[in-house]
Structure 1
């Protein structure tokens, strides 16, 4: 069986050895296409995690005009055909898991502190995609979907509202030469906007630093921020990779070019990925969670669109939950993370994982409804 971990890591390494990450840090110019988050051309569902840089890299390297993909079967069912001789692109389904370790009697094995020991693993399988540019005879709604705004954002200027609504303090200064996030102050320091050569470069750098800020102990408690190590270390390199990818995901979401790239980290990233073929999967998973955290926080903080809504109704509205999580929650819930207000667990997972999911849902304030077999978030239980 082919080693999918190694095959995907090798593709990322190829890009790094050429001096960039897929879709990130290219020598942009106005004539080049701005990459959007890759999506399935039939369902419209966006790809996530490791598939985003993988598909960006393929579209970039092979000169495809769109970030729209589909399987051979989907092309046929849509009334089209994949062009003869077209080379497919490897993508993957990746679901981190963990399982409770049990003894011969089926009882949990405990560690020195009395907690059940767990084994971490992942479900990984590859599948092949084709870009719409590789197909003939597809209907217009598949190849040329109508233009739509992205979740209510009509222009780059709306990113100011997004950044302000993330709840993270940003200070601008004409005297600053570099941007940075400072965990002790829990503050992002940025050069003044007028010091950037265009809007895309400013916003991509700001989103890079905000991704770092999601790692603060009061948010996602990512070890690269809560317990940092110096430049040159694997932990430092991975945290920068998370921020780089988080900024790229958000730029792709809003349809702007990503220019928040520092070639100084390339050698460190190459070293980390060469030593650990699963590192890129952890980094893309953490970046996805960080981007989703920022989007959800903004959604919670934004002013209601209607000014006619009674203040009392607004005050009594059910508060939304913030995903106070770390990488273990990503591994535990896999594709179900981030969780919604209602969660239905997959009863076919192994017993240890299912029990761990139930325990974690209770900790986060979810209550079980036996009639519907779903877990529903309760603000009172979470208080």
Structure 2
């Protein structure tokens, strides 16, 4: 395919021109499919970034019953087949790269501070997936896996703990008409929960505003929050798109419907994407980082399940294993990839990227050695 960026952007634009984002912004039927984060049906690994709305989009259009996908080869190796005539869905693999700029003599070109200049580029390639509903003969463990669950969240009400534990101030008011995040106060203001028509509506709106809050200069320092522009501008539209997608990713993670959608932004999103075919890639990447930041913040602030557990017994608990890496990790860490047991971050990268790298290193079980400013993989995480 000549231009994957354009092909994917055109897919998203098609949904926007029909009045919704993939998986978001439709008048939900309570009996319809719940949009969970799409995953590979064989490995169980979740897809991320731009692949999430792409796969949601096709699942909605085709009426698939599950967000479980696999390649033609995986279906065959599992003992099944893709039905004749079924069409695949385009997904993509993205890997950022950088290379030193050299002159005609092969010597590095230096910037004003004497550091080598670098050229940034990316490897982008597409691959094709099929939904399990498009296949025959697959084993039960692929077509009917155990129900997915999120540790610590047995009910929708448990999301109150998540919202309270993100480290962001949230204020509710009975007489408030609109939800909003105020960067100067670093505070989310919401109408009282009872003013929403159901729990999913409340939580999806709250997660939308919390995604905005991750852009604060003390967190991911996203330009749409640190240097905002007025309604109608491209920057304003992109920040709203990040919040919309961040809320959707979190709703898919927790298994609730996303109802935080404002059709007033659709025209702006269409305009931005028509002018820049890479805009949706930046927005989904930023939304993924925001969602991961909130989950990590909650995990760090979360109280132990039992405060009266004996220290010796706690010490014998099974250590948390290092999370699986994914394509977005490759994008986030760039030339540092693949990560070794010790990682020295590049302090010259932009502040938002640096904070996102630190958050992800903590998730993966790395611990900072303050003396050397090196992140080392802990023994427990490596187990």
Could you tell me how far 1:185 is from its partner in structure 2? 0.2
Which position in structure 2 is the counterpart of 1:352?
none
Where in structure 1 are there 5+ consecutive unaligned residues?
Answer: 315-327, 346-356, 367-374
Cα distance in structure 2, aligned partners of 1:16 and 1:62: 17
Q: Does 1:60 align with 2:60?
A: yes
Q: Aligned partners of 1:173 and 1:235: how far apart in 2?
A: 29
Q: Distance in 2 between matches of 1:61 and 1:172?
A: 37
Distance 1:379 1:194 in 2: 47
Asked if the contact 2:50–2:284 (Cα under 8 Å) also holds between the matched residues in 1, the reply is yes
Deviations 1:187-223 (A, max 9, x none): 0000110110000000000000000000000000000
Identify the residue that residue 47 of structure 1 maps to in structure 2: 47
Q: Are the counterparts in 2 of residues 98 and 332 from structure 1 also a CA contact under 8 Å?
A: no
Give the distance between the partners of 1:108 and 1:153, measured in 2 at CA.
53
2:4 paired residue number: 4
- In the alignment, structure 2 segments of 5+ residues that lack a partner are 315-327, 358-364, 375-383
The correspondence for 1:360, drawn from 328, 335, 346, is 346
Residue of structure 2 equivalent to 1:378: 368
- Answer with 186-195 or 298-307: which moved more: 298-307
Q: Indicate how the Cα distance of structure 1 residues 376 and 244 shifts in structure 2: closer, same or farther if over 3 A, else same.
A: closer
Q: Who is 1:344 aligned against?
A: 340
Report how far residue 153 of structure 1 moved: 1.4
CA distance 1:336–1:154, shift in 2 (3 Å): farther
Contact 1:95 1:335 in 2 (8 A): no
- Once residues 114 and 187 of structure 1 are traced to their aligned partners in structure 2, the CA distance between those partners, rounded to angstroms, is 41
Runs of 4+ in 1 over 4 A off after TM superposition: 309-314, 328-332, 334-337, 361-366
Give runs of aligned pairs for residues 201-280 of structure 1, distance below 5 A.
201-280=201-280
Could you tell me the TM-score, scaled by structure 2's length? 0.84
Report what 1:369 is aligned to: none
2:319 corresponding residue in structure 1: none
TM value normalised by structure 1:
0.84
Q: Deviations for 1:85-144, whole angstroms, at most 9, x for unmatched residues?
A: 110100001123333323334443233344433322111000000000000010000000
Tell me how far apart the structure 2 counterparts of residues 268 and 303 of structure 1 sit (CA, whole Å): 42
Q: Take 1:130 and 1:361, find their aligned partners in 2: how far apart are those partners?
A: 41
CA-CA distance at 1:149 after TM superposition: 1.6
Partner Cα separation in structure 1 for residue 80 and residue 140 of structure 2: 11
Equivalent residue number for residue 103 of structure 1: 103
After superposition, the Cα gap between the structure-2 partners of 1:105 and 1:332, relative to the gap in structure 1 and judged at 3 Å, is farther
- 1:174-189 correspondence runs (5 A): 174-189=174-189
Size of the aligned set, in residue pairs, is 348
Superposition map of 1:85-234 within 5 A: 85-234=85-234
Match of 2:171, SS?
strand
DSSP 3-state at the match of 2:172: strand
- Distance change >3 Å, CA 243–CA 167, structure 1 → 2: same
Separation of aligned partners in 1, 2:335 and 2:310: 37
Describe the shift of the 1:332–1:211 C-alpha distance in structure 2 as closer, same or farther (beyond 3 A): closer
- After the TM superposition, which of the residue ranges 113-122 and 243-252 deviates more from structure 2? 113-122
Alignment of 1:297-376 (within 5 A): 297-309=297-309, 331=331, 333-334=333-334, 343-344=339-340, 358-360=344-346
Quote the offset at 1:334 in angstroms.
Answer: 5.0
Contact 2:94 2:331 in 1 (8 A): no
User: How far is 1:362 from its partner?
Assistant: 11
Deviations 1:296-354 (A, max 9, x none): 0100010112324567999xxxxxxxxxxxxx9984515999x9xxx329xxxxxxxxx
In structure 2, relative to structure 1, the CA distance for the partners of 1:192 and 1:138 (3 Å cut) is same
